[in-house]
Structure 1
């Protein structure tokens, strides 16, 4: 598996930043992967519109500049890994 060049801290349902719960996007040339360590998270893509239910077996890929937001579904732990090229998964 590709190694990320940066990862967020591990967040839970209470300390997940408001910025990640609201519309935001990765930067130009930056791919992301939402990784759920425990529980479930809903990932909503805004362009094109769709939703994914993420768990420890289902990561959420993010394209460069793709608007999205995440929503915890109960107790959870997650982080976001960042890559300079498309990650393997």
Structure 2
């Protein structure tokens, strides 16, 4: 059984960020099963309220996060998010750092 990671893999760096989402602008596609593309991990930052992050079959697991907490989103693992309490969050996207020729 897959568990939700507690931290990003070593050697990954941020390369992008979503807009801030609220219950009023959270797209339906994020509330339904979806996943990141191959090689992309996410870090969901809860700014206000509470979010429920749920893995989709064949995986099992969920994590409740409140303001100030983060949820690690593993590459290509189907999941969905929903507000449990009104608030705001964003997702930061990560990929393996490129080696710089030295």
Same fold at TM > 0.5:
yes
Kindly indicate whether the alpha-carbon contact (under 8 Å) linking 1:31 and 1:85 is maintained by their aligned counterparts in 2. no
Q: Provide the TM-score with structure 2 as the length reference.
A: 0.76
1:36-75 to 2 correspondence within 5 Å? 36-46=46-56, 47-75=58-86
- Distance in 1 (CA, whole Å) between partners of 2:47 and 2:13 is 17
Bigger Rg, structure 1 or 2 = 2
Number of residue pairs aligned between Structure 1 and Structure 2: 85
Q: Provide the TM-score with structure 1 as the length reference.
A: 0.86
1:28-43 to 2 correspondence within 5 Å? 28-43=38-53
Unaligned runs of 5+ in 1: none
Unaligned runs of 5+ in 2: 1-11, 98-102
Q: Which moved more, 1:59-68 or 1:44-53?
A: 44-53
- Distance in 2 (CA, whole Å) between partners of 1:82 and 1:20 is 15
